[in-house]
């Protein structure tokens, strides 16, 4: 560094922690969302919660942080943004001590997209999975739609991340300023001819008070939602005849896994129950049929009840009440090899409880999946 150059700390410690913490949480969310098995969903959810906390902190620190952390220092006019983009096209960008206009646009875009992703994720968690603080307020189909939005937003996020990384390397090469290193140690070099600006100090107490107020308000709202019972979950009554008579030969499947029409067809055809005669006393048959009708898929609003109740036309006639023949079951299990189902602790495709620890409840949460090794 020459005598004419001045080295100053531009990025304070909270901003650097936010930046690299966000990298970690977003990377974890992307990996667990696209590449990890479904039973890693708990990690995915906590990565989302961590992202929410960091985004909220950054919004507050953008008001009360030190000089170059504040939004007002990198809020540029459209004319300034266009001028900077033109400079980049001609490979002659001006030096900015803090964020340049392109970097500022990226920050605002990332904060907006991440906020939308975490909000849609909460809707998915509450509606599709019947978990989280919104489980009592969101129905399945709202959660399912939010899942589509969540995926689209995530793809946009990956595009933004790619552009951000590309922009960092381009700016580093054009300005000969190591932007990655500066986000590690916080220091940047002011080129010859420029003087160090007046810098305002951070206001950590004001930031802490604002964060506390936000946490109290948001926490109260989410707590009010969280004490609501999950929507679409019915209190399942015990039917001893169903448990004993059906459970003697196979798992007594949760009634929500088939629609009423399928259960009715099964119960009137017990003399040919998958090739065997499973006929029962008339009163017992009527009692079991009534139980299954009362708690069939239509009585629930879970992912399993909504998805397993859809029988494709080509499967409706040959297998109207075979759970493992439904389109959803086949799609969810298509990556599991036939050898897995032959393991001693599983034995066959109809043994749901061997892998789904909460099969008896009808929830079938992703985190409750545990495929036995033997």
pLDDT digit string, tens, across residues 163-173: 999 989 988 88
One domain for residues 47 and 172: yes
The alpha carbon of residue 256 and the mean position of all alpha carbons in its chain are separated, in whole angstroms, by 25
Give the pLDDT band of residue 199 (cuts 50, 70, 90).
Answer: confident
Contacting residues for 4 by C-beta, under 8 A, at least 6 apart: 192, 193
Q: State the chain's maximal CA–CA distance in angstroms.
A: 99
User: Where a domain ends, among 198, 226, 254?
Assistant: 226
Is 54 a member of any domain? Answer: yes
User: Where a domain ends, among 163, 196, 226?
Assistant: 226
Is 207 a member of any domain? Answer: yes
List the CATH number of the domain containing 81. Answer: 1.20.950.20
The fraction of the chain above a pLDDT of 70, given in percent, is 95
Q: With beta carbons less than 8 A apart as the criterion, state whether 48 and 114 touch.
A: no
Q: With beta carbons less than 8 A apart as the criterion, state whether 27 and 217 touch.
A: no
- Chain mean pLDDT for the chain: 90
Supply the pLDDT for residue 133: 92
One domain for residues 151 and 34: yes
Rounding to the nearest 10 degrees, give the CA dihedral for residues 21, 22, 27, 33.
Answer: 120
Supply the pLDDT for residue 174: 85
One domain for residues 144 and 11: yes
DSSP per-residue string spanning 285-345: HHHHHHHHHHTSGGG--SHHHHHHT---HHHHTT-TT-GGGSHHHHHHTTTS-HHHHTSTT
Q: Which ranges constitute the DSSP H helices of the chain?
A: 13-34, 41-64, 78-89, 101-127, 140-175, 179-185, 204-226, 240-241, 260-267, 282-294, 303-308, 313-316, 327-332, 338-341
One domain for residues 145 and 168: yes
One domain for residues 78 and 118: yes
Q: Pairing mode, if any, of strands 6-9 and 187-190?
A: antiparallel
Supply the pLDDT for residue 35: 92
One domain for residues 122 and 259: no
User: Rounded to the nearest 5 degrees, what angle is found at the Cα of 126, between the Cα atoms of 18 and 238?
Assistant: 140
One domain for residues 147 and 283: no
Question: According to the per-residue pLDDT averaged within each range, which of 110-114, 275-279, 330-334, 349-353 is highest?
Answer: 110-114
- Domain tally for the chain? 2
In angstroms, the CA 296 to CA 273 distance is 19
Is 163 a member of any domain? Answer: yes
User: Where a domain ends, among 226, 253, 269?
Assistant: 226
One domain for residues 222 and 245: no
One domain for residues 171 and 283: no
One domain for residues 183 and 264: no
One domain for residues 203 and 343: no
Q: Phi/psi of residue 37, each to 5°?
A: -65, 160
Supply the pLDDT for residue 145: 96
One domain for residues 97 and 214: yes
pLDDT digit string, tens, across residues 319-353: 678 888 888 898 899 989 989 999 989 988 889 99
Is 234 a member of any domain? Answer: no
Is 235 a member of any domain? Answer: no
Domain of residue 36, residue span: 6-226
Q: Specify whether the backbone of 232 is left (phi greater than 0), alpha (psi in -120 to 50) or beta.
A: left
Structure tokens belonging to residue 285: 């048959």
Supply the pLDDT for residue 350: 86
Question: Is the per-residue pLDDT at 318 higher than 80?
Answer: no
Is 373 a member of any domain? Answer: no
Stronger pLDDT, 193 or 66, i.e. the higher one: 66
């Amino acid at each position: 560094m020459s005598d004419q150059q001045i080295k100053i700390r531009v990025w304070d410690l909270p901003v650097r922690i936010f930046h690299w913490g966000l990298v970690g949480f977003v990377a974890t969310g992307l990996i667990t969302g696209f590449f990890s098995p479904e039973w890693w969903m708990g990690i995915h959810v906590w990565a989302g919660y961590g992202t929410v906390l960091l985004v909220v902190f950054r919004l507050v620190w953008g008001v009360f942080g030190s000089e170059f952390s504040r939004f007002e220092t990198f809020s540029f006019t459209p004319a300034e943004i266009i001028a900077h983009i033109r400079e980049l096209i001609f490979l002659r960008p001006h030096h900015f001590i803090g964020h340049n206009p392109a970097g500022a646009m990226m920050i605002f875009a990332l904060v907006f997209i991440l906020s939308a992703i975490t909000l849609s994720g909460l809707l998915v968690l509450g509606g599709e999975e019947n978990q989280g603080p919104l489980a009592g307020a969101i129905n399945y189909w709202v959660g399912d739609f939010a899942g589509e939005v969540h995926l689209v937003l995530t793809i946009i996020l990956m595009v933004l991340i790619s552009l951000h990384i590309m922009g960092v390397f381009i700016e580093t090469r054009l300005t000969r300023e190591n932007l990655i290193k500066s986000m590690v140690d916080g220091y940047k070099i002011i080129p010859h001819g420029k003087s160090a600006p007046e810098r305002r100090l951070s206001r950590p107490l004001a930031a802490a008070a604002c964060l506390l107020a936000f946490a109290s308000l948001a926490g109260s709202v989410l707590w009010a939602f969280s004490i609501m019972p999950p929507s679409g979950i019915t209190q399942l009554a015990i039917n001893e005849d169903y448990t004993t008579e059906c459970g003697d030969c196979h798992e007594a499947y949760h009634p929500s896994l088939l629609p009423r029409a399928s259960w009715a067809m099964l119960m009137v055809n017990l003399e040919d129950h998958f090739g065997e005669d499973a006929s029962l006393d008339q009163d017992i048959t009527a009692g079991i049929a009534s139980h299954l009708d009362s708690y069939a898929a239509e009585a629930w609003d879970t992912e399993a009840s909504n998805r397993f109740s859809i029988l494709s036309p080509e499967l409706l006639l040959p297998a109207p009440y075979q759970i493992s023949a439904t389109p959803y079951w086949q799609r969810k299990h298509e990556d599991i090899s036939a050898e897995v189902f032959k393991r001693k602790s599983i034995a066959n495709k109809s043994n749901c409880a061997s892998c789904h620890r909460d099969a008896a409840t009808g929830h079938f949460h992703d985190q409750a999946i545990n495929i036995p090794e033997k």
